[in-house]
Structure 1
Amino acid sequence: MPVISVPQDFNEEELYVGLEGIFGHPLFLKCEGFNFAGSIKLKAASEMVEAAERDGLLTADSVLVESSSGNLGVALSMIAASKGYRFVCVTDSRCNLSTRLLMEALGSEVHVVSEPSAVGGLLGARIDHVRALCARDDRYVWLNQYTNPHNGMAHYRRTAPAIARQFPDLDVLFVGAGTTGTLMGCARYFRRWHRKVRIVAVDTAGSVTFGGHPGRRMIPGLGTSVRPPQLDESLVDDVVSVEEADTIRACHRLARRGFLFGGSTGTVVSGAVSWLERHGQQDLTAVAIAPDLGERYLETIYQTNWVHDLYGEGVLGSEPLTAAPRAA
């Protein structure tokens, strides 16, 4: 019987969902949302906070501050509450209301940026706001998930080895691209592994991460309006770009089979299914990483009026999942 004294000590690492019966392709979905933060971001948050403590950057008077679209903010809110730190999350208007309320329930302060920066859009505006807070008060400590090496190290040390233990014959791994911490940590681990694993990054349409044109993105999580400093494209074999309408369709198809996942997971699944469809190989051992669960999307992805208003009434029809390949 596991007994914990702090919430970050619990994380379910070995749960997978087989998706062949839902999408028609052999694909194992690694579920990363079964912890008290509800997402894979707990690993990065824990690693970054622990490193800052080891380096003496955090004291009893410190105020943690971070830019986040939601999930990392929740993870840091939880850790800050357990350790007695103040935490300020700088997010933007796309952050789900339930996510903001959850951070506040954990005792955090949430600043919502609504005006995009001329350079970098809403993400750029969030980072500008964080920098202004740090310049005004030296108690603020910015972990900076965008450049912090411990973001990716969390997945090099934990996520990738956990997958390798369960799937020693792994052929292809699908990883969503946000800050690219998860992507780079897993890619670096498998580049050093005993056999070749194809790393496929899944991005969202409208993201500039892999050189695409900026566009409207309404679902928080994956994609960026500023190229991630941590990204090393030489470690990525393929890139799949997924339209948000396909993200929504994947989420709803999973929900109709009893699996309520979040927007980032819907994007990864849609991209993985599209890639497998194009490559047509049934004997591949394929794993996709599901970063989040779906409860925080009940007012958006799973709310019919929100979906219809933004994507049209036909988005939940019988159209097949589609995704466009991009050169890595």
Structure 2
Amino acid sequence: MPVISTPHAFNEGSLFVDLEPVFGHRLYLKCEGFNFAGSIKLKAANEMVESAERDGSLTPDSILVESSSGNLGVALSMIAASKGYRFLCVTDSRCNLSTKLLMEALGSHVHVVTDLDANGGFLGTRLEYVRALCASDDRYVWLSQYTNAGNWRAHFRTTAPEIASQFPRLDVLFVGTGTAGTLMGCARYFREWRRPVRIVAVDSMGSVAFGGTPGRRMIPGLGMSMRPPLLDESYVDEVVRVEEADTIRTCHRMARRGFLFGGSTGTVVSAATDWLSRHGTRGLTAVAIAPDLGERYLDTIYQTNWLQDLYGENLLGSAEVDNAWQEDSASRGQGNRRSP
């Protein structure tokens, strides 16, 4: 039984869900939401804060500031509260209300930007605000998750070894791409591991992380309105882009089986099941990373009015989806497994 004295001292890193009964493919989902921050971002937050403490840039008089769509902001809020730092999170109007309230409950200040940047996202606007703050007062310390090597080092040290220890014969790994910290940490680890693990990066349609045309993105977590500075595509074997409608359908399909995951997880699982259905999967061992759980998305991807306003009434109510629900029910009753 673990006994801890600080909230960031606990993280469950060895829990995997077998998704074959849900999707008909041999796919294991690494669950990263079981810690007091509720997401994989706790790892990067802890690594970056401790690095800043070691190099002396973070002192008791400092004010932490970071741009975040939500999860890193919560993780930094928790760590700041535990260590006695002040923290300001700069986010945007796509941030879930529950996430914003959680940061404030932990004692952080939250600034919400509403103006779009040149690529139709909010990241550029958020970064401009952070830079202006730092220029106005040298007490502000910006960890900069987008450029901080501690972001990917955290996953090189923890996430990737946790996967390798459970799946020594791993064939393919699906990783969502936001800042690219998780992607780069895992990809670098498995490159050094000298096993032919195929690294599949997952991105949202409308994101320009890997190039392409910017578009509307309403689900926070994955995707960028600029190329991630940490990204090195030489470590990536393939990129799969996912429409938000498919993200939502995948989240609801897992929820119908009792697994409530967040939007980023829905995107990664949608990409993984699509990839596995397009490739020969017999004998393959595949793992996908689930960054968080679904409670923070109850007022968005699990809220009927929000879905209908943005994606139309038939997103989850079409005959195709109804038939899938019936087939899922039948397969559970007969003990059968099927592909989506």
Normalised by the shorter chain, which TM-score bucket?
over 0.9
Q: What does 1:198-217 align with in structure 2 at a 5 Å threshold?
A: 198-217=198-217
Q: Tell me, yes or no, if structure 1 residue 152 matches structure 2 residue 122.
A: no
Structure (1 or 2) with the larger CA radius of gyration: 2
Q: What does 1:71-150 align with in structure 2 at a 5 Å threshold?
A: 71-118=71-118, 121-150=121-150
Corresponding position of 2:280: 280
Return the alpha-carbon distance in structure 1 between the equivalents of residues 118 and 279 of structure 2: 40
Following TM superposition, by how much is the alpha carbon of 1:120 offset from its aligned partner in structure 2, in angstroms? 6.8
Following TM superposition, by how much is the alpha carbon of 1:172 offset from its aligned partner in structure 2, in angstroms? 0.2
Q: What does 1:170-181 align with in structure 2 at a 5 Å threshold?
A: 170-181=170-181
Return the alpha-carbon distance in structure 1 between the equivalents of residues 128 and 254 of structure 2: 37
Cα shift readout 1:134-161 (whole Å, capped 9, x = no counterpart): 0111000000000000000000000000
- The unaligned stretches of length 5 or more in structure 2 are 325-340
TM superposition score normalised by structure 2: 0.93
* Counterpart residue type for residue 51 of structure 2: A
* Counterpart residue type for residue 91 of structure 1: T
Return the alpha-carbon distance in structure 1 between the equivalents of residues 118 and 60 of structure 2: 37
Give the SS at the match of 1:307.
Answer: helix
Q: Is the 8 A contact 1:120 1:226 kept in 2?
A: no
Corresponding position of 2:20: 20
Corresponding position of 1:324: none
Following TM superposition, by how much is the alpha carbon of 1:280 offset from its aligned partner in structure 2, in angstroms? 2.7
Return the alpha-carbon distance in structure 2 between the equivalents of residues 19 and 282 of structure 1: 15
Q: What does 1:155-234 align with in structure 2 at a 5 Å threshold?
A: 155-234=155-234
Give the SS at the match of 1:115.
Answer: coil
TM superposition score normalised by structure 1: 0.96
The 1:145–1:120 alpha-carbon spacing in structure 2 relative to 1, beyond 3 Å, is: farther
Following TM superposition, by how much is the alpha carbon of 1:119 offset from its aligned partner in structure 2, in angstroms? 5.6
Q: What does 1:228-247 align with in structure 2 at a 5 Å threshold?
A: 228-247=228-247
Return the alpha-carbon distance in structure 2 between the equivalents of residues 191 and 59 of structure 1: 36
Corresponding position of 1:325: none
* Counterpart residue type for residue 213 of structure 1: T
Corresponding position of 2:262: 262
Give the SS at the match of 1:192.
Answer: helix
Following TM superposition, by how much is the alpha carbon of 1:312 offset from its aligned partner in structure 2, in angstroms? 1.1
Identity score, percent: 77
Corresponding position of 1:308: 308
Cα shift readout 1:195-214 (whole Å, capped 9, x = no counterpart): 11000000000000111210
* Counterpart residue type for residue 97 of structure 1: L
Cα shift readout 1:256-313 (whole Å, capped 9, x = no counterpart): 0000000000000000000001113221000000001000000000001111111111
* Counterpart residue type for residue 166 of structure 1: Q
- The unaligned stretches of length 5 or more in structure 1 are 322-328
Return the alpha-carbon distance in structure 2 between the equivalents of residues 166 and 80 of structure 1: 32
Cα shift readout 1:26-75 (whole Å, capped 9, x = no counterpart): 00000000000000000000000000000001111100000000000000
* Counterpart residue type for residue 234 of structure 2: S
* Counterpart residue type for residue 125 of structure 1: T
Corresponding position of 1:32: 32
- After the TM superposition, which of the residue ranges 272-281 and 61-70 deviates more from structure 2? 272-281
Tell me how large the CA RMSD over aligned residues is. Answer: 1.2
